[in-house]
Structure 1
């Protein structure tokens, strides 16, 4: 429970359990059982009032979208979603982007309905998500357990992966599109390498984990223009000709998607990872 230090004025009562209150010049969302019952615009929330949760949504569009989500989500289910968001924030010991109250709640609402109708969505990025966002995936599994305990719905692995994307997005400026784009890029690159080498990469292997992780950090380096140094470009280019050629093609894809130039140093590192896949297949055969 949290205690309201200064009194506030009700801006809007969303339902029996959620109100928007102006406190110290800021609009805050207060969540507590019965706090919105009978409340109207202008009513006072006394200092010392105890509430379950407090959060701030500053962006006007987000606030509008938040209201729309509340209107279509059952109150009890919204409570479960907020419990999940609070547990994630507390476990990470960090504030999450305000959009998570909208994006994750909306996603979970539809996910539970899909599962009830036996409409299971395949997640083509699941393995990439598990490797790229290990912490977020672990938290998503805990979120799935809360849903199982609270509403007796079993969340499949694919949906857990999507929850992890929402968590990662909330930790990184709230842009879910960027998170999905990176997972999509990694998946596309893996499929391209498989096609060129005529192999099937073991997505449970250490080589796979290393490669996907490298792609993740390569994308970050390119986006912030922080080049990496590789002193063995010539040796890699000469010794691993096929892998280097594939790496060059991969770099073109990365460059076009990110609208950034991929350095020769980066290409050489990609070639090293691709060569590991090639050699692992040769050893198996």
Structure 2
């Protein structure tokens, strides 16, 4: 259903022909309407009363900051494409999504596509459970995978479809990970350990922190449900990311000490190491 803009908006950035980021009344909004971004430049106006198919507003200051950082590091066309995917998800579900999806899903897809282009596929044995528990989300994730292949020519395997489905589920208002308080405590303990190991102080409002925390939460879910990822890159990760792998081994000890009757297998340790390495490199770039 179309909505009319209640006030004039100033273009901040046009991601593609259909998605623009605007400022109106001191707030930033994402507008979706076919052709709205065509020929638009920063500073151009979209007048009050213009019909818009969808308006997304990112209210949380930390999320807005992370989204801005994401737009500085990811290609505009790709962000626009991801926003069209998010619009499609919201429309198919018939509900508003958590604003976190604008950061989490876009960031995940950007990283996943880079990995897949480098033939770095992470196996996900959690796929069957995700498909069973979250049928609608999994179906939408398959649609997203098809659209990515059609648009970018990158095949998205079932394992990645499962991850996309989890992001969709987490973005729904009723989609919450279990044991939130307990997992938050464990995650914070691990973050503090990683800070000590890397001799850095991590900005809790940064995109790097939000990204790492998301991967850590998903790892905890897999470990507690005994559904570890099968990682064929273990030996390569051990050799290439020695420091990060050692840190990941100690993170595994923290997880085993704080979660009941769990064993963090080597595949999962390697997966954690990969994300710690990404975190470490990103922080190193910031320091430079």
Name the TM-score, length of structure 2 as normaliser.
0.57
Find out whether 1:38 has 2:50 as its counterpart.
Answer: no
Change (3 A) 1:2 1:94: same
Are the counterparts in 1 of residues 13 and 42 from structure 2 also a CA contact under 8 Å? Answer: no
CA offset at residue 81 of structure 1? 1.2
| Aligned equivalent of 1:14 | 13
Partners of 2:38 and 2:91 in 1: CA distance: 23
| Aligned equivalent of 1:114 | 115
Determine which structure has more spread, i.e. the larger CA radius of gyration: 1
Within-5 A mapping of 1:28-177: 28-31=29-32, 33-34=36-37, 37-40=40-43, 44-51=45-52, 53-171=54-172, 172=174
User: 1:238-279 CA deviation, whole Å, 9 max, x = no partner?
Assistant: xxxxxxxxxxxxxxx9xx749xxxxxxxxxxxxxxxxxxxxx
CA offset at residue 117 of structure 1? 1.1
CA offset at residue 113 of structure 1? 1.2
CA offset at residue 180 of structure 1? 5.6
CA offset at residue 8 of structure 1? 2.9
Are the counterparts in 2 of residues 99 and 174 from structure 1 also a CA contact under 8 Å? Answer: no
Are the counterparts in 2 of residues 125 and 187 from structure 1 also a CA contact under 8 Å? Answer: no
CA offset at residue 51 of structure 1? 4.3
Considering Cα pairs closer than 8 Å and 6+ residues apart, tell me whether 1 or 2 has the greater RCO: 2
User: 1:144-186 CA deviation, whole Å, 9 max, x = no partner?
Assistant: 1111222222101111111011001101467656666444422
| Aligned equivalent of 2:4 | 4
- Cα RMSD over matched residues? 3.1
Are the counterparts in 1 of residues 169 and 175 from structure 2 also a CA contact under 8 Å? Answer: no
Partners of 2:22 and 2:153 in 1: CA distance: 30
Give unpaired runs (5+ residues) of structure 2: 178-213, 229-254, 261-288
Give unpaired runs (5+ residues) of structure 1: 190-252, 259-285
Change (3 A) 1:151 1:81: same
| Aligned equivalent of 1:194 | none
Tell me the matched-pair count. 190
CA offset at residue 125 of structure 1? 2.2
Secondary structure of the 2:225 match is helix
Name the TM-score, length of structure 1 as normaliser.
0.57
Change (3 A) 1:39 1:76: closer
